[in-house]
Amino acid sequence: MVWPMCGRFVSASNADDIARYFDVDDVSEQALAHEPNFNTAPTTDVFVVYADGSSRRLDTFHWGLVPRWAKDLKIGNRLINARSESVAEKPAFRSAFRKRRCILPADGFYEWTKPERASRKQPYYIHRADGEPLAFAGLWEEWRGHLPTAGDTPGDAGAEGEGEATPRGEEVTVRSATILTGAPNEKMAELHDRMPVILPASAWAEWLDPGTDAAELGRFLVPAPSRLITFHPVSTEVNNVRNKGEHLTEEVEVEAPGGP
């Protein structure tokens, strides 16, 4: 058994480098202040490249999509990924898929697998073979609502269009994002039965353009070429989200089958 895809990634490049790589027109103050994190986990703020009118922007959004119709932010904990096979129909994603697509830059990501007869899951660090950033296909949303006050228990998000947000505490606007996943390439299949959708540079403009017909986007929702990625085993220290240092990406020896 493996852990859910895609739940941890590396965001170590600085905003200026990402802006240059993705040909960004404007960088937010939040993005400029974003600190390197070699163990980025859901519900944290992550880099997002998106189109805002005629500009391409770099900002930081909450990782875990919160649909506009959600009663509270809690639903985002379950929507860190969107399956590319059903994203056009799922109520939580279909609106964003039509008009609010984005790219989540990453230096690499982690996945876990359990070798036969091994005593524990082994994490692996997956990254581009040429060292360039990965461009995860993503969706984003903007949610307006009230944060819970002390003692409040947020309710379930409910179904699309049902009910209204109950005024609780401070009113906020939250921009959030999710990562699209799909079938793995031959290389990734050695570790997991899914992988993030990785966009080539030739697809960025169409993917980010809100005017692109969603019916034409299927050609981008395919596995990246196997030659694009490489991977190696890393320390189980990455299992703990409090560990965020660069050492987490260093290669380690894999536990021998039947070992202690």
The catalytic position among 111, 132, 160, 253 is: 111
Q: How many CB atoms within 10 Å of residue 31?
A: 23
d(CA 41, CA 45): 9
Catalytic site includes residue 111: yes
Catalytic site includes residue 164: no
Active-site residue list = 6, 111
